[in-house]
Amino acid sequence: MASSSGRRLLGGLILVGFGVGLAFLTLELGVRMLHLVPDRFWRPDPVLGSALIPNASGWWTQEEHEFVVPVQINRDGRRDLDRSRDKTPGTTRILLLGDSFVEALQVPIGDTFARGLERRLGEATAQPVEVVSMGVSGYGTASEYLWYRDVGHLYHPDIVVLSFYPGNDVRNNSPTLEPALPPIYDADGTLQRVSAGKSGEGAPSGLNRSRAYTYLRKLILTRQPDLAARLSDWGLINPTALRPVPLENGVPVDYWVYASTPPPAWQDAWARTEGLVGKLRDAVQADGARFVVMVVTAREEIYPQDWQEILETYPPMQQMSWDVQGPERRVLDWCARTDTTCVALSPAFFAARDQAPRLHWHADGHWTAAGHALAAETMTKFLRANGQPAAQVAEDR
């Protein structure tokens, strides 16, 4: 009798185990087919901090699934078309440097700013135009300068456009404010390299290879932070996975760039940033190319309701003084003082912000396809007008 009960119990456990395994396998297949977990396209780099993996392919999304985009990295480690470093005679070549706004994983490659600028300029001039795009998530001016110094100049560009995003580029250039890819300067302030920092994570192993596990863990981390903290205490989640938003006086570090009176660490970050942009400009001009700074918009700058949501999310910010257009003005002022060609996209974005569709993804913050198209249209007009005077704002005309 006891033996019969034991067999029934064992059979029941086997069925339960089989059911759980089948359910997990079904979830695994569903997560993979629906691309609910983004692929990884970066690896550590000893000079630049990180770099895109040549020929990597996959899909990109985020927690809110505002977009699901196929991604292909080219043979040179750029999210771009393959280009020969030798330029065809008679072709105008533009080299586009930047961070995740230029990398543009949030839209299909045909909808990116780079491809739109290339099409519009080619149609307007009826001459061959190539836009070589080099953007990597997490890059600041430090990584962009080092890449141009070592590789970018080999493409022999006629124009180099630096896509400057005040929302995090200033922080990226600071050895104290940047947590993930901190630049390394020597004693006299000369840039040496960018540290890989936290980007040096190895390939997934164990349960981390499972997309279903990764998806469920991410849901817990983003939507049930208290539960995630308890699981971490019990040893069921690696504490490093919690990654809370870094705060200073109750304010996310990134938003201090908008402070009406920036703290001393931010003044230092601005000084280093201006020095790096100037150094990049001098290197480009020494190579016989024209240099242009394009000031990228932030969603909280363009959409007042988005900025209000941020203030409501972080109540200490409501007691402080902020100027969301201050960083852009500072860049334009620096360009005017140093005779550097500089164009801000914000007037065109302000003029179009009340139209559908949105220009910035609401949760992600990067440009939508409409934002990329408007940026390409605005920059085309600016370049065709020859970008004079040296520092000005592009008009939406």
DSSP strand pairing (247-248 vs 42-45): unpaired
Q: Which is it for the CA torsion 377, 380, 385, 390, positive or negative?
A: positive
Q: Which CATH architecture has domain 75-199+247-384?
A: 3-Layer(aba) Sandwich (3.40)
Helix axes 113-125, 369-384, angle to 10 degrees: 40
For the chain, what are the domain ranges?
75-199+247-384
Report the pLDDT value the prediction gives residue 64, as an integer from 0 to 100: 84
User: pLDDT (tens digit, 9 = 90+) per residue, 17-36?
Assistant: 777 677 767 766 776 777 77
Report the pLDDT value the prediction gives residue 34, as an integer from 0 to 100: 73
Report the pLDDT value the prediction gives residue 391, as an integer from 0 to 100: 39
Report the pLDDT value the prediction gives residue 219, as an integer from 0 to 100: 64
Q: Using a CB cutoff of 8 Å and minimum separation of 24, what contacts does 75-81 make?
A: 77/51, 77/52, 77/53, 78/52, 78/132, 78/133, 78/134, 78/135, 79/41, 79/52, 79/103, 79/104, 79/105, 79/109, 79/133, 79/135, 80/109, 80/114, 80/132, 80/133, 80/134
Phi-psi region of 96 (alpha: psi -120 to 50; beta: other; left: phi over 0): beta
Q: What are the helix (H) ranges across the chain?
A: 2-34, 100-103, 113-125, 141-150, 169-172, 211-223, 225-233, 264-286, 299-302, 304-313, 326-338, 346-352, 369-384
Which neighbouring-strand residues pair with 131? 94
Q: Would you say 297 and 378 are in contact if contact means Cβ atoms under 8 Å apart?
A: no
> pTM score, two decimals?
0.87
DSSP assignment of 245-290 equals PPEETTEEGGGGGGBSS--HHHHHHHHHHHHHHHHHHHHHHHTT-E
Question: If you ran DSSP here, which 8-state letter would residue 158 be given?
Answer: S
Report the pLDDT value the prediction gives residue 19, as an integer from 0 to 100: 73
Q: Which is it for the CA torsion 160, 163, 166, 170, positive or negative?
A: negative
Q: Would you say 256 and 316 are in contact if contact means Cβ atoms under 8 Å apart?
A: no
Non-local (6+) Cβ contacts of 32 within 8 A are 211
Q: Which residues of the chain have pLDDT under 70?
A: 1-2, 11, 20, 24, 27-28, 31, 197-208, 212-213, 215-229, 231-244, 386-397
Report the pLDDT value the prediction gives residue 223, as an integer from 0 to 100: 62
